[in-house]
Amino acid sequence: MSDSGKSGHGLKLGVILCKWCHRVIDEMDTEKVVVYYLECDREDCAKDRDSRLEVG
Ligand SMILES: [Zn+2]
């Protein structure tokens, strides 16, 4: 019997957000709620980041 889903509940508590645009980059199976902040690789995000620095 092939299982299409992961074993147990499919809820993932760990989430990786972009620290610039707060988009969800990835999700992880963790025992408790964990939020990591990384940089996404979207061009518009980097562009927005640069313009924000210019305004600074
Ligand atoms: Zn981003």
- Listed by start position, the domains of the chain span 14-55
pLDDT tens sequence across 26-43 = 999 999 999 999 999 888
| 1 CA distance to ligand 1 middle (Å) | 40
- Above pLDDT 90, what percent of the chain? 46
In this structure, what token pair is assigned to residue 22?
């707060």
| 7 CA distance to ligand 1 middle (Å) | 31
Q: How confident is the model at residue 7 (pLDDT cuts 50, 70, 90)?
A: low
- Above pLDDT 70, what percent of the chain? 68
Residues comprising the chain, all counted: 56
Pairing type for strands 14-18 and 24-28 reads: antiparallel
pTM metric for this prediction:
0.62
Q: What is the reported pLDDT for 54?
A: 62
